[in-house]
A and B are shown apart, each in its own frame.
Chain A
Amino acid sequence: MNETITQNLLVFGGVLFSMGLIGFLTRRSLILMFLSLELMLSGVSVNLIAFSRHHQNYQGQILAIMVLTIAACEAAIALALVVSLYRRKATLDVSAWDELSETLMPKSVEVPSELVAAEMEFPKLTPSGLDPMERPISASFDARSGEMIEGENVKHSEAGTHA
C-alpha cells in the first residue's frame, strides 16, 4: 500500500518535472521560463519527500530544504537579472538577447580537417607582360621570357610562374 503511494508520488514528481520542461522549452518570456524552472525544482522536492517517507528518516526532507534554499537564491539572482535586462531593452522576450550567441557567424564553420602539404593549392601568380583580362593565359606562356613557348617546356615554365 505504502509502496504504491510512493510510486504514485514519484510519477507525480515526474509529471511536474516534465511540465516544467515543456514550459521551459515553449515559453519565450524570461519570467515564465524562470517559473518553469521552479516547477521542475518542486517536482524534485516531491520526489525527495516521498523517499523520506519511504525510508523512514529525515534525510530526504533535509535535502528538500537545501533545494528550497537554492531555489530562493536562484529567485533572487534571476529577478535581478530580469530587472537589469528589462531596463536595457524594455522587453521580456528571450530572443531579444539572441546576439549573445553570435548570430553573425555561420552555424557551423568548416574547418579543414587535415592540411597535407601535397594537397594544398597555392595561388598562381599572374604572369606579367600580358593582359589577363584580354584572353585566358595559356599554360605555354613563359613568364621569364615574356613569350609563348612550345610543347615540351611547359613544365619548366609552370615552375617559373611559381617563383
Chain B
Amino acid sequence: MLSMLVPIILGAVGYLLIQHGVVKSQATFAGGLVAIVAALLFALAFTPGTFESTILMLFCAMATGGGIGFLTAREPVYAALGFATAVLSISGVMFMQSALFIAAATMIVYAGATIIIFLFVLMFAQQTDLRNYDVQMNSPILAAVIGAIFLATITICVTSSDAMLPIRSDTTRSMSAAAYRPAAAADPSSVNAATTPLVTEEGEAAQQFVPSTTSGLGRSLYTDYLLSVELAGAVLLVATIGAIALAQRPIETQKGTPA
C-alpha cells in the first residue's frame, strides 16, 4: 500500500525540480525529468500487462507528461501546447475506454475550440519579453505539497480493497441500463441471457456489456435524460448571452472618451 505513495512523492519532487530548473539550471531540470520518468515507470509496475492496458497506460503517461509541461513551462504559449497534448492524450484514454463519442467531443471542444481561441488571446496579449507574472509563480512548494497530499488521499481511497463497488444494474433508467439489448428483445431464445445477472463469474468476458456504441448513448441521452439535455441547452444559451454582454466594448470608449 505504502509503495504506491512513492511515485506520488517522486512526481511532486520532479515537478518542483523542473519548476526550479527551468529558470535556474539545466542540471536541476534534467534531475526533475529523471524523477518524473522514474515516477511513471514506478506507476507502471502496478498496471496489468495486457496489450490494451499497455496502450491505455501509454496514453496516461503522455497525458501526465503534457500536464507536467503545462505546469512548468514559462512561456504561456508552450503551456497551452502542453495542455493540448494532455487533452489529446485524455481523449485517447477515453477512446480506449470505449467512450467514442466523448473522445471525439472532447477533442473538438477542448483541443479544437478552447485551445485555439485561447492561443489567439495569448498571442494577442503576448509581449516580446516574458512578463513577471509568467516567470514567478505563487508558492510552488506549498502547492506541490497540497497536490501530493490530495493525490495520496485519492490513491489510498481508491486502491483499498473494498473501494470498488459491485456492478450496479440500474433498472430505473431502462434505456441506459446494461440489460437493454435489442438483440435479446428480438430473439426470444436469448431472453434468459438478458434477465440473468450480468456477471455471474469473475472475468467472463462474454457476459460483459461494453457501453461503446454512439447509438446507445444517443438513445439513453434522448429518452432517460431528455430533461437534462433541455437544461444543458438552456445553460448554453444563457452562457452565450452572458459572454456577448460581457465582451462588449463600452460605448464611451468607442467614441474616444475613456470610460
Contact = CB atoms under 8 A, between A and B. Distances in A.
A154 interface: no
Contact of B122 (A31, A57, A72, A84): A31
Nearest to A79: B117
B146 interface: yes
Given A12-B60, A25-B139, A56-B209, A66 B228 contact: yes
Contacts of B232: 65-66, 69-70
B239 A76 contact: yes
A32 B79 CA distance: 8
Given A5-B48, A8-B57, A52-B211, A62 B217 contact: yes
A76 B117 CA distance: 10
A55 B167 contact: yes
B190 interface: no
A4 B43 CA distance: 13
B137 A26 contact: yes
B140 A46 contact: no
Interface in A18-59: 18-23, 25-29, 31-32, 34-36, 38-39, 42, 45-46, 49-50, 52-59
Interface string A54-84: 1111110110111011111111110111111
Contact of A55 (B138, B168, B203): B168
Given A22-B143, A49-B94, A57-B211, A4 B47 contact: yes
A70 to B, nearest CB: 7
B86 interface: yes
Nearest to B138: A26
- Of B64, B90, B203, the most chain A CB neighbours within 10 A belong to B90
Interface string B125-137: 1000001111011
A11 B93 CA distance: 13
Given A5-B53, A52-B211, A22 B71 contact: yes
Contacts of A68: 102, 105-106, 109
A4 B87 CA distance: 23
Nearest first, the 8 A-B pairs at minimum CB distance are A73-B239, A14-B154, A80-B246, A25-B143, A80-B247, A93-B133, A56-B178, A18-B147
Interface of A: 1-12, 14-23, 25-29, 31-32, 34-36, 38-39, 42, 45-46, 49-50, 52-59, 61-62, 64-66, 68-77, 79-84, 86-87, 91-95
28 contacts: A1-B50, A5-B56, A11-B43, A12-B60, A16-B63, A18-B147, A22-B71, A25-B138, A26-B71, A28-B133, A42-B106, A45-B102, A49-B102, A53-B97, A53-B99, A55-B170, A56-B167, A57-B177, A57-B220, A61-B99, A62-B176, A64-B99, A71-B114, A73-B238, A75-B114, A77-B239, A92-B133, A95-B133
Interface of B: 11, 15, 19, 43, 46-48, 50, 53, 56-57, 60, 63-64, 67-68, 70-71, 76, 79-80, 83, 86-87, 90, 93-94, 97-99, 101-102, 105-106, 109-110, 113-114, 117-118, 121-122, 125, 131-134, 136-140, 142-144, 146-148, 150-151, 154-155, 158-159, 163-164, 167-170, 173, 176-178, 198, 203, 208-211, 216-217, 220-221, 225, 228, 232, 235-236, 238-240, 242-244, 246-247, 249
